Amino acid sequence: MSFDDISVLLLWTAIAIYTLGFLAFTVDLARRSELAIKAQDAKARTLVAAGGGGQTIDEIHAEEAAAKVALEAAPSKRGRYLFARLGVVLTTIGFLFHVGADVTRGIAAGRVPWSNNYEFALTGTMLVVMVFLTVLVKYDLRFLGAFINGLIVILLGGAALAYYVEVVPLSDPLKSVWLVIHVFVASLASAFFALAFALSIVQLLQSRRERIALAAVGSDAAPRTRLPFLRTLPSAEVLESLAYRFAIIGFVLWTFTLIAGAIWANDAWGRYWGFDTKEVWTFVIWVVYAGYIHARATRGWRGTRSAWLSIVGFTAVLFNFTIVNQFFQGLHSYSGLPS
Amino acid sequence: MVSRPSSDRSGATAVDGPLRPSDHLDKTGERGAADDGSPAQPVLGVVGWLRWGWRQLTSMRTALVLLLLLAIAAIPGSLVPQRSADPNGVTQWRATNPDLYPTFETLQLFDVYSSVWFSAIYILLFISLIGCVLPRTKHHWKALRARPPRTPARLSRLDDHVESRVAVPEGEDAAGHAAHAVDLAEAQLRSARYRVERYDRNGVASVSAERGYLRETGNLIFHGALVGVLLSVGIGGGFTYTGQTVITEGDGFVNSLGLGYTSFNPGRFVDTEALTPYSITLDRFDVTYAPPPSGQAGDFAAHVTTRFPGQKAEDQVIEVNHPITMAGDRVYLMGNGYAPTITVRNGAGDVVFSESVPFLPQSPTMTSSGVVKIPDTGGEQLGLVGFFYPTVATLQSGALTSAYGDLVDPRLTFFVYEGDLGIDNGDARSVYALDTDGMTEIAGRNADTPSLELSPGQTVQLPGGRGSVTFEDETKNGAPESVKRYVSLSIHNDSSAPWVLAFAILAMVGLFTALFVPRRRMWVKATPGGDAVTLEYAGLARGEDPAIAIAVADLAQRHGRALDDEPASAPGVPANVN
Ligand code: HEM
End-to-end CA distance of chain A: 30
- Over 60: is that where the pLDDT of B7 sits? no
CA-nearest residue of chain B to A203? B1
Positive or negative, the CA dihedral B53, B58, B63, B69 is positive
Q: Report the nearest-CA residue for atom 24 of ligand 1.
A: B129
For B174-206, how does the pLDDT look when each residue is reduced to its tens digit (9 = 90+)? 888 888 899 999 999 999 889 999 998 888 899
Question: How many Å lie between the centroid of ligand 1 and the Cα of residue A71?
Answer: 30
Query: Is the CB of residue B337 below 6 angstroms from any atom belonging to ligand 1?
Result: no
Measure in Å the smallest separation between the Cα of A280 and chain B Cα atoms. Answer: 6
What does the pLDDT read at residue B40?
A: 52
B296 closest CB neighbour out of A169, A270, A300: A169
User: Quick one: pLDDT at residue B18?
Assistant: 63
User: pLDDT digit string (tens) for A293-327?
Assistant: 999 988 888 889 999 999 999 999 999 988 887 77
- Cα B229 to its chain centre, rounded Å, is 9
Q: Which residues of A fall within a CB distance of 8 Å from B322?
A: 267
> Taking chain B, what is the end-to-end CA distance rounded to the nearest angstrom?
42
**Chain A: residue whose CA lies nearest to B503:** A259
Mapping DSSP to helix (H, G, I), strand (E, B) and coil, where does residue B544 land? Answer: coil
- Beta-carbon separation of A172 and B298 below 8 A: yes
- The alpha carbon torsion through B200, B203, B204, B207 (nearest 10 deg) reads 30
Judge whether residue A127 has pLDDT over 70.
yes
pLDDT tens readout for residues B408-417: 999 999 999 9
A259: nearest CB among B2, B89, B508: B508
- Arithmetic mean of pLDDT, B221-231: 96
Which ranges in chain A belong to alpha helices (H)? Answer: 3-50, 57-72, 82-109, 117-138, 145-162, 177-178, 184-216, 236-268, 277-296, 304-319, 325-327
Q: Are B544 and B514 in contact (CB under 8 A)?
A: no
Give residue B543's pLDDT: 78
The answer to whether the beta carbons of residues B285 and B297 sit under 8 Å apart is no
The CA distance from B406 to B126, in Å, is 52
CA of A291 to the centre of ligand 1 (A): 8
Largest CA distance in chain B: 129
Does residue B2 register a pLDDT over 90? no
- Per-residue pLDDT, averaged over B271-286, amounts to 90
The per-residue pLDDT for A35 is: 79
The amino acid sitting at B126 is: F
Q: What is the mean pLDDT of residues A152-165?
A: 92
The confidence score (pLDDT) of residue B64 equals 95
Instruction: Convert A230-279 into a string of H (helix), E (strand) and C (coil).
Output: HHHCCCHHHHHHHHHHHHHHHHHHHHHHHHHHHHHHHHHCCCCCCCCHHH
CA–CA min distance B376, chain A (Å): 39
Query: Under a CB-based contact definition with an 8 Å cutoff, are residues B428 and B262 in contact?
Result: no
Does the global pTM surpass 0.80?
Answer: yes
Q: What does chain B come to in residues?
A: 578
Query: Cβ contact (<8 Å) for B2 and A235?
Result: yes
pLDDT of B3 over the 50 cut:
no
d(CA B512, CA B510): 5
Beta-carbon contacts of residue A334 (< 8 Å; ≥ 6 apart)? A115, A116, A117, A171, A174, A325
pLDDT of residue B285: 93
* pLDDT > 90: percent of chain A: 56
The number of beta carbons lying within 10 Å of the beta carbon of residue A23 is 17
pLDDT in tens, B49-90: 888 888 888 888 999 999 999 999 999 999 999 988 888 888
Q: What's the pLDDT at A21? A: 97
Residue bearing the bigger pLDDT, B18 or A242: A242
The neighbour count for residue B101, using CB atoms within 10 Å, is 16
In this predicted structure, what is the pLDDT of residue B297?
A: 85
Task: Name chain A contacts of B77, Cβ cutoff 8 Å.
Answer: 275, 280
Any atom of ligand 1 within 6 Å of the Cβ of B217 = no
In whole angstroms, what is the distance from residue A84 CA to residue A142 CA? Answer: 6
ipTM (interface pTM): 0.91
Q: What is the pLDDT of residue B370?
A: 92
The residue of chain B nearest to residue A65, with distances taken between CA atoms, is B1
DSSP state of A43: H
B21 touches ligand 1 (CB under 6 Å): yes
Mean of pLDDT values over B394-406: 90
A173, A268, A284 member nearest B75 (Cβ): A284
Model confidence at A332: pLDDT above 70: no
Minimal CA–CA distance to B245: which of B159, B335, B327, B313? Answer: B335
Most confident of the following: A124-138, A173-187, B361-375: A124-138
Residue A210 has pLDDT above 90, yes or no: no
Q: Is B368 left (phi over 0), alpha (psi -120 to 50) or beta?
A: beta
B33 falls in which pLDDT band (50, 70, 90)? very low
Distance A294 CA to ligand 1 centre (A): 6
Provide mean pLDDT across the span B330-355: 92
The answer to whether residues B337 and B483 touch, using CB atoms and an 8 Å cutoff, is: no
Q: Which of A39-48, A89-98, B467-476, B521-530 has the lowest mean pLDDT?
A: A39-48
d(CA B419, CA B441): 9
A85-90 long-range contacts (CB < 8 A, ≥24 apart) are A86/A24, A86/A28, A87/A21, A87/A22, A87/A24, A87/A25, A87/A28, A87/A142, A87/A145, A87/A146, A87/A149, A88/A133, A88/A136, A88/A142, A88/A145, A90/A17, A90/A18, A90/A20, A90/A21, A90/A24
Asked if the model's pLDDT at residue A134 lies above 60, the reply is yes
Centre of ligand 1 to C-alpha B516, Å, is 14
Confidence of residue B367 (pLDDT cuts 50, 70, 90): very high
For ligand 1, atom 12: residue with the closest CA: A293
Lowest average pLDDT, out of A89-93, A325-329, B527-531, goes to: A325-329
Q: Report how far residue A214's alpha carbon sits from residue A230's, in angstroms, rounded to the nearest whole number.
A: 14
pLDDT reading at B430 higher than 90: no
Instruction: Return left, alpha or beta for B457; rule: phi > 0 is left, psi -120 to 50 is alpha, else beta.
Output: left
Please state, rounded to an integer, the average pLDDT across all residues of chain A.
88
Å from CA of B552 to ligand 1 middle: 28
Angle at A327 between CA A324 and CA A331, to 5 degrees: 70
Question: Which residue from B132, B83, B173 is spatially nearest to B528, judged by alpha carbons?
Answer: B173
The whole-number pLDDT of residue B436 equals 82
pLDDT at B111: 93
Instruction: Give residue B426's pLDDT.
Output: 53
Q: Residue B96 and residue A54: Cα distance in Å, rounded?
A: 64
The answer to which of A79-83, A199-203, B378-382 has the lowest mean pLDDT is A79-83
Quick one: pLDDT at residue B265? 87
H helices present in A163-235, as ranges: 177-178, 184-216
pLDDT digits (tens, 9 = 90+) for B87-124: 888 888 999 999 999 999 999 999 999 999 999 999 99
Give the sheet arrangement for strand B324-326, strand by strand: B263-266, B241-248, B484-493, B329-339, B324-326
Regarding the beta carbon of B151 and ligand 1, being less than 6 Å apart is answered: no
Reduce the DSSP state of residue B467 to 3 states and report it: strand
Report the residue among B223, B512, B513 best suited for mutation to probe ligand 1: largest number of ligand atoms under 8 A from its CB.
Answer: B223
A26-61 tens-digit pLDDT: 999 998 888 777 776 676 666 554 444 556 777 777
pLDDT at B41: 58
Q: What is the pLDDT of residues B449-463, one digit of tens each?
A: 889 999 999 999 998
- Please tell me what DSSP assigns to residue B204: B
What average pLDDT does this structure show over A234-242? 91
Task: Tell me which of A275, A309, A320 to substitute to probe the interface with B (most B C-beta atoms closer than 10 Å).
Answer: A275
How confident is the prediction for chain B on average, in pLDDT? Answer: 86
Asked if residue B209 has pLDDT above 50, the reply is yes
